[in-house]
Amino acid sequence: MTSSDRRSFLKGAAGAAAAFAFQPDLSATPRSLSAPLRVGLIGAGRQGRKIMGELGKFEDVTLAAVCDSDARRLSGAKRRAPQATLYSEHKAMLESAGQLDAVFIATPTHQHRSLCEDALDAGKHVYCEAPLAHTLEDAKAIARAARAASGKFQTGMAGRSNPVYSLARSFVRTGAIRDTLSLRSQFKKKTSWRTPTSDPARDKFLNWRLDPSISLGLVGEVGTHHFDALHWFTGQYPTSVRGTGEILAWKDGREVADTVHCEFQFPGGVRSQWEASLGTSFEGEYSLLAGTMGTVKLAGTHAWMFKEADATTFEWEVYATRQQFHQDEGIILIAGATELAAQGKLKEGIGLPHPPLYYAMENFLVAVGEDSEPCCSAEEGLRAAAVAIRAAEAIRTGTEVAIPEKDFSLE
Amino acid sequence: MLVRLALHAMGTRFELVLEGDEDGPGAEAYLRAAGEVALAEVEQVDARLSLFRRDSLLSHIQRNAAEQPVSVDPETFALFELCAQVCEATEGSFDPTIAPLMRAYLLHDETATTPLLTLEQARECVGWKKRVQLLADRRIAFSAPGTALDLGAIAKGHALDLAIEVLRDAGITRALMHGGTSTVAAIGHPLGREGWPIALGAGPNAPRVLLCDDCLAVSAPGARSVQHEGRRVDHVLDPREGLPVQGALVAATLSRSAAEADAWSTALLVNADPKGLPPHMESLIGMTDQEDERVPTHWFHRPRITCTGLSGFCDIPQSRQATPLQTV
């Protein structure tokens, strides 16, 4: 990789970062919408419950309907959203709840396609959790339906709307880490990834993540978020992938790997390592972008910059809050720091005031209310899903698998 | 078969033992999955009610409730209603608005989202009745800025209640779960025993309880302390006086609700008078007449008035009947 290749890896590099000028407006108070919205939720499981929790913060948004085909989950939803009308079938919800403006879809991944198509067809704005789909065919069908529809569509990626990631990205895109050398993401959580039930019929429904015929496993359910964030930072997608997946921690008859390693090749020689395991929690979940002048670490509500000794000193560094990680010292990136520093409250700004999911939902609700573009389109969702689908193929076949441009295209 | 799981949350360690009838990998996977869902409830409560996380619902409430009412989910609102109820029944011995005072005594670390005030200012901020309003449509409002809630005396119990509900829902019939060893909840009893045997402290004379479909909470002042203006301040403060607790050495309660047991055990440590204790609850308070003594020399026991037949304290040395008892 030549140095000009490396530089072009970071499109729009423009010298040293102009620090605080790029900071997004970060208000801890939930944003008011231009008009009240009535929304529905399809899928009242783990993620659906989190969505319900964040929706409660928006005073102008009413969760008017909840749909789940599992009666027990639906009764749980009734407790958490007593005002909502309950449906066991999504078509009934889309038809009878005529005044719904938007629908959040948080069902098992393999159900996304028909739900997205039906919701868009019914004229609703759609927020669909990532990954969009477990097959290229389904992901492209969703992207086509979104393109043809009049409503807004947002893929529920955790990175793009995250204010602290936006800030980190502004540094990376303006050359603060200079030439990118490598990317690395990990997800570690000690969990069997299993939902308990003694009913075999419910088991198949609830434990869809462990069914290799409909689940991409970790690389799909977790990896897509990382792949999308790294694309958003670098402007690049990988061209090929190698990977391994093993069952090391949970030898309970499952067929979906609990420990996965992948290596992605980017144009120009940069490689990205991706690692996930359900057998350890060590260091949790984060992504790293390493460059010749520094490394950025992204971890949900927090982000840091680790500078090389020969990197340019920013004027604002004297005010910065730092955190020690063994022998490395990271500058804590604080969204809205200029304003907080002016009020002498810089330390209070460490960590986001809401979980990343909140910002993704806020972005969607504002896009619906103000007729603006959501931050992560269906086509972006397709691209991240395509990377995960090729990675799953590489793991399955034990070979290096190309990620052709046509995977990303709707033509 | 026994399966054991644990989780670091709420600044402590939660531990869970599940017992199933069958053996084999399928049975183990099922028990473990059930335990993980229960621990996920604890994580969820931590994410929702932590004072040390800027992205928690509680921090969201602290930032906004003095300016405009904040809508909360039914579970959180039910918890606030229980706070109001215990606060009233204990005449303020339990009071979550104590947060600014805890911070002023430096009993909260720097990451807390509580405002840092002087002791005098902080005392002004304490008082649920005057500071907190629970409104229609599950909304909470603060009557003045500076108000902040520390749910440390009830959140562990709340998390256990939700976790136990999830375990029962998953079909678990025998389990014991604790948060930081101070709040404990039991489903059923271990095979071949009448209850889960638990001792209140170490030593041969420690009172015991056999816990079965019941919850236990134990509070003691000496568990954590800081130095403040040259003297030791224990982590339990009297919300009414704004001073460190000087009453009981240990207070334990039993209730079907771990949250209720949790809140009452703190209240009884502050004021060793079980006057307003609901009839379905039981309490045991350990005290001493001797200064500098850290081990109780006598115990006050208030048995259950209703719901008898559930777990009860036993092996209580030098027990004294505790009703009525003078406030200490």
Residues B61 and B83: their CA atoms lie apart, in Å, by 15
Report the number of distinct structural domains present in chain B: 3
Query: What is the CB neighbour count within 10 angstroms for residue A411?
Result: 3
Element (DSSP H or E) covering residue A298 = strand A294-299
Same domain, B42 and B169: yes
CB of B73 within 8 Å of any CB in chain A?
A: yes
What percent of chain A clears pLDDT 70, i.e. is strictly above it?
A: 92
Q: Do A196 and B71 touch (CB under 8 A)?
A: no
Residue A14 has pLDDT above 60, yes or no: no
Nearest by CB to residue A191, choosing from B34, B36, B71, is: B36
Q: Say if residue B129 is in the same domain as residue B177.
A: no
Q: CA nearest B113 in A: which residue?
A: A348
- Whether residues B92 and B238 share a domain: the answer is no
- Which residue would you say has higher pLDDT here, B222 or A57? A57
Contact (CB<8Å) A351/B53 = yes
Q: What is the pLDDT of residue A1?
A: 44
- Asked whether residue A230 carries a pLDDT value surpassing 60, the answer given is yes
Q: Which residues contact A93 (CB under 8 A, 6 or more apart)?
A: A40, A42, A65, A67, A85, A87, A100
Contact indicator for B95, B214 with CB cutoff of 8 Å: no
Q: Which long-range contacts (CB under 8 A, 24 or more apart) does A16-19 make?
A: A16/A174, A16/A175, A16/A176, A16/A312, A16/A314, A17/A170, A17/A171, A17/A174, A17/A175, A17/A176, A17/A314, A18/A174, A19/A314, A19/A315, A19/A316
Place of tokens 């920013």: A314
Mean pLDDT along residues A92-113: 92
Contacts of B71 in chain A (CB under 8 A): 56-57, 59
**Partners of residue B26 in chain A, C-beta under 8 Å:** 252-253
Which CATH number characterizes residue B77's domain? 1.10.3980.10
B55, B56, B116, B173: best to mutate for the A interface, most A CBs within 10 A: B55
Does any CB of chain A come closer than 8 Å to the CB of residue B91?
no
Nearest chain B alpha carbon to A47: B44
Q: Domain ranges for chain A, please list them.
A: 3-25+160-354+385-397, 37-158
Taking CB atoms and an 8 Å cutoff, what residues of chain B touch A57? 60, 71
How much is the pLDDT for B118? 86
Q: What is the pLDDT of residues A32-48, one digit of tens each?
A: 777 899 999 999 999 99
Does the pLDDT at position A201 exceed 90? Answer: no
Confidence of residue A98 (pLDDT cuts 50, 70, 90): low
Residue A22's pLDDT band (boundaries 50, 70, 90)? very low
Is CATH 3.30.360.10 what the domain over A3-25+160-354+385-397 is classified as, yes or no?
Answer: yes
List residues of chain A with CB under 8 Å from any CB of chain B: 28-29, 46, 52-53, 56-57, 59, 72, 79-80, 82, 191-192, 194-198, 250-253, 301, 347-348, 350-355, 358
> Token pair for residue B16?
């869970």
**Residue B149 is assigned to a structural domain of this protein:** no
Å from A33 to nearest chain B CA?
16
Q: How far is A356 from chain B (nearest CA, A)?
A: 9
Residue A133, pLDDT > 50, answer yes
Which chain B residues are Cβ-neighbours of A45 within 8 angstroms?
A: none
B29 & B65 share domain: no
Same domain, B137 and B27: no
Q: Specify the DSSP class assigned to residue A251.
A: -
> Which residue in B26, B30, B54 is closest to A351 by CB distance?
B54
CA distance A83 to chain B (A): 10
CA-based nearest residue to A329, from A348, A301, A309: A309
- B209 with B300, same domain: the answer is yes
pLDDT confidence band for A188 (50 / 70 / 90):
very high
Residue A152, phi then psi, degrees to nearest 5: -80, 155
pLDDT band with cut points at 50, 70 and 90 for residue A18: very low
Domain assignment of residue B156, yes or no: no
Assess whether B33 and B132 both reside in one domain: no
Quick one: pLDDT at residue B308?
A: 75
Q: Are residues B272 and B313 in the same domain?
A: yes
Cβ-Cβ contacts under 8 Å, B113 against chain A: 348
B203 in reach of chain A (CB within 8 A): no
Contacts with B64 from chain A: Cβ below 8 Å: 28-29
Q: What's the CATH code, domain A37-158?
A: 3.40.50.720
| pLDDT computed for residue B224 by the predictor | 65
Q: How many CB atoms lie within 10 A of CB A320?
A: 17
**Mean pLDDT, range A219-227, rounded to an integer:** 98
**Over residues A338-365, mean pLDDT:** 88
Contact B75 A80 (CB under 8 A): yes
Could you give the 3-state DSSP secondary structure of residue B13?
A: strand
**Of A46, A56, A59, which is closest to B72 when you measure between CB atoms?**
A56
Write the residue in B29, B36, B59 that is nearest to A252 by C-beta.
B29
Task: Summarize the confidence of residues A317-327 as an average pLDDT.
Answer: 91
Q: Is B109 on the interface with A (CB under 8 A)?
A: no
Q: Tell whether the model's pLDDT for residue A10 goes beyond 60.
A: no
Residue with the two structure tokens 């009535």: A38
Please say if the pLDDT value at position A17 is more than 50.
no
Total residue count of chain A as it appears in this document:
411
B250 and B296 in a single domain? The answer is yes
Instruction: Looking at the structure, tell me whether residues B219 and B279 fall in a common domain.
Output: yes
Do residue B32 and residue A194 have CB atoms under 8 angstroms apart?
yes
A-chain residue closest to B26, CA distance = A252
Residues of chain B found within 8 Å of residue A84, distances taken between Cβ atoms: none
Give the pLDDT band (50/70/90) at residue A228: very high
**B157 within a domain of the structure (yes/no):** no
Q: What is the per-residue pLDDT across B206-252, written as a single tens digit (0 to 9) for each?
A: 899 999 999 999 998 866 666 767 776 777 888 988 887 777 899 99
| pLDDT reported for residue A12 | 33
Query: Is the peptide bond between A131 and the residue preceding it cis, with omega within 30 degrees of 0?
Result: yes
Name the residue among B53, B71, B73 with its Cβ closest to that of A59: B71
The verdict on a CB contact (< 8 Å) between A192 and B34 is no
Cα separation, A192 vs B31, in Å, equals 11
- Which residue ranges in chain B fall short of pLDDT 50? 323-328
Tell whether B32 and B173 lie within a shared domain.
Answer: yes
Q: Which residue has the higher pLDDT, A343 or B153?
A: B153
CB atoms A56 and B32 under 8 Å: no
**Residue B51's closest chain A neighbor by CA?**
A353
Average pLDDT value over all residues in chain A: 91
What's the pLDDT tens digit per position in B83-99?
A: 999 999 999 999 999 99
Res B38: pLDDT:
98
B25 to chain A, any CB pair closer than 8 A? The answer is yes
> A369-396: per-residue pLDDT in tens?
999 999 999 999 999 999 999 999 999 9
Q: A344 vs chain B: nearest CA distance in angstroms?
A: 14
**Residue B233 covered by a domain:** yes
Expressed as residue numbers, the domain containing B228 is 188-321
What is residue B321's predicted lDDT score, i.e. its pLDDT? 53
Q: What share of chain B is helix, strand, coil (3-state, %, to 5)?
A: 30, 25, 45
B177 and B40, same domain (yes or no): yes
Q: Which of these, A163, A160, A295, A291, lies nearest to A232 by C-alpha position?
A: A160
Residue, of A153 and A7, whose pLDDT is higher: A153
The answer to the question of residue B100 being in a domain is: yes
User: Which candidate in B1, B32, B39, B54 is best for mutational testing of the A interface (most A CBs within 10 A)?
Assistant: B54
Picking from A32, A41, A59 by the largest number of B CB atoms within 10 A of its own CB, the best residue to mutate is A59
- Say if residue A20's pLDDT is above 50: no
Residue pLDDT, tens place only, A255-309: 999 999 999 999 999 999 999 999 999 999 999 999 999 999 999 999 999 999 9
Within a domain: residue B153?
no
CB contact under 8 A, A28 and B63: yes
* Record: contact B54-A52, CB cut-off 8 A: no
DSSP-assigned letters across all residues of B35-68: HHHHHHHHHHHHHHH-SS-TTSHHHHHHHHTTTS
